[in-house]
Amino acid sequence: MSLRRILTLPSHLNALGAYTSLSAARFYGYYTKRRLHGTAVRLTDGVFTGLSDNRLPMPWIEAWRLQQEKKNVASDEAKPQARDLTPKKMSDSYHRVVLPLGRDPWLSDTYINASGHIRLGTIFMDLDALSGIIVYKHTGPGVTAVTAALDRITIAHPLTEICDLEYSGQVTYASGRSSVEITCKVARARDQGEPSKAEDVLLTCTFTMVALDGNTKKSVAIPPLLWSNPEEEKIFKAGEAKALAKKRKLKTSLLETEPNDPESALIHKIWLRQVAYRDPNNSIRQPANVISMSKTRLSTASIMQPQYRNRHQTMIFGGFHLKQTFELAFCCASSFAHARPTFISADPCTFRNPVPVGSVLYLTATVVYTDPPLLELSEEESEPQQKDSKDPVTRLHVRVDSKVRDVEHGIAKPTGQFNYTFSVPKSVKVLPHTYQEYMMYIDARRRVQLGDVQDRQDHPDTELWQLQRLQPAEHVNLTE
């Protein structure tokens, strides 16, 4: 059978080619071997096979039949059973997988975009799958673990070539209650036995997972984490501090408190500029590069198909949800700026409600803040300017609001708010109009300022403007 013949097989077989990481020879050999049945290799859409081999314990049709019969469709590992809550070490949950991106060209179908850059959305999806493997190493069987939150992600060292990547991670904080922090890392894969270097690390991110009872869906206790050396103690203490900081931050949210005095003054200042733009007797006119926030919105609606489900069968995989929001944010940024965005960071986000298989997921992306901004609090009346007018760079903060409905379009449930920052090689600015838009603007401004503080702490020897000028280039694989 020729390769052309393989690629024109019926859709239910040909679809395998989009999701598998098999090399051309293995792909060819799979169909040329004599088989007495039509069962395909079990694959998870879009996730590297090394992270998905054991994710789906049964075919969807079997899970669907059990669901219709009101039976438990959870995997054996998630069904309630006697559990061991003995404290565990960090090394007990360590997991490492090598993505052979440099050795297997067929992987480019899933991981490389049209411009030859690595698709970060797919990397994010893999990392959520990796955290799922790690959490069960720590909790053991008898619980259902779900993704609850994701901390800030930044690019540590841009890749300069397509190469094998190493995914690794472990539990870094667990108090013994229901939540657990998992830190994952993506780095250039070195040869076996060769130690990795700091400059090999592409990015590091932290997931928060929550353990639930498989029947009641209520939180359950998990084994506490032990540290065995000063370095692990430092990591544990950092995780503990982050957990406390998240609780404090909730109290200062704009949903809980009004804008402070300087923020209220800024809102009034922008509103006055907006009034001036509309006044025919005023010489000030709205520049072409100042765009109303309402005109930046980009929305999608998609039905959640079974191939995107998690190991618990009835809900959508959190990594797929994350990937969808990231790619919509990228499209929103490029539509707003008419330029190719470069990813800078993803802000902390929380998964508020699960997304059931068969539901409709609605995503709305909006450019809510630009830096340099239209106006800022200062005694000077002039607008903030680019550092280099001949080579402008603007940071765009894109917010993606997510909600889910059933097919009958009953009550909508919010599933999360996702915030991404990109840079573009143009001078563009966003202008809020309504009170809701002003609140989105102030919230984004806070996030950007908080991120700047963190960047200064992480890179004390680098000027902040240099960190922000991550320009897209042919030799840097950052975007999408």
Is pLDDT above 90 for 399? yes
Is pLDDT above 60 for 470? no
Percent of the chain past pLDDT 70, that is, above it, reads 81
Measure the CA–CA gap between 270 and 428, rounded to whole angstroms. Answer: 16
The per-residue pLDDT for 145 is 87
Give the pair of three-digit tokens for residue 85: 């809550």
Is pLDDT above 60 for 480? no
Q: How many CA atoms lie within 13 A of 31 on its CB side?
A: 19
| β-strand pairing of 349-351 with 95-99 | unpaired
* Residues, the chain: 480
The per-residue pLDDT for 43 is 44
Nearest to 296 by CA among 329, 342, 344, 263: 329
Across residues 253-259, what is the average pLDDT?
87
Give the pair of three-digit tokens for residue 402: 């997510």
* pLDDT tens column, 315-347: 888 899 999 999 999 999 999 999 999 999 999
Helix, strand or coil, per DSSP, at residue 91: helix
Q: Which residue has the higher pLDDT, 52 or 240?
A: 240
Q: Which residue has the higher pLDDT, 249 or 98?
A: 98
Local structure of residue 99 (DSSP, 8 states): E
Q: For residue 79, name the pLDDT band (cuts at 50, 70, 90).
A: low
Identify the top-confidence range among 186-195, 357-366, 403-412: 357-366
Percent of the chain past pLDDT 90, that is, above it, reads 48
